[in-house]
Amino acid sequence: PVSDAAERLMLENFNKFDRGEEPTGRVDLRVGY
Q: How far apart are CA 22 and CA 10, in angstroms?
A: 13
Against a cut of 0.75, is the pTM above it?
A: no
Residues for the chain: how many in total? 33
Which pLDDT tens digit goes with each residue over 1-33? 568 888 888 888 777 767 666 655 555 556 544
Distance, CA of 10 to CA of 18 (rounded, Å): 12
Please check whether residue 2 is in contact with residue 33, taking contact to mean a CB–CB distance below 8 angstroms. yes
* Alpha carbons 13 and 20: distance in angstroms, whole number: 10
What are the extents of the domains in the chain?
1-33
CB under 8 Å to 6, separation ≥6 — which residues? Answer: 27, 33
For position 14, what pLDDT does the model report? 76
pLDDT of residue 10: 81
